Amino acid sequence: MSWSYDRATDYLDAAREMSDSGRHTLARLLAEEAADRTPDPNEAARILAEFPGQSLRQES
């Protein structure tokens, strides 16, 4: 199966799937990407609230 991640909803769907399968760290990272791709700051905050935890990104 081929996956395409072009939209915030793609990342959010994947985050929910990872969360449901117990992969909470990966779910948080995917949720952060979904939030980054969401133009509405209130919706981005709601996405991150659905997947609590601190960011684990390592950005330079």
The per-residue pLDDT for 19 is: 94
pLDDT for 48 equals: 95
| pLDDT at residue number 2 | 58
User: CA dihedral in degrees (5, 20, 35, 33; nearest 10)?
Assistant: -50
Name the residue range of residue 17's domain.
4-53
pLDDT at res. 56: 75
Q: Is residue 10 situated within a structural domain?
A: yes
Give CA–CA dist 47/3, Å, rounded: 21
18, part of any domain? yes
In a domain, 60, yes or no: no
Per-residue model confidence (pLDDT) at position 3: 65
What average pLDDT values come out for the chain (60 residues) when binned by 10 residues? 78 95 94 96 96 78
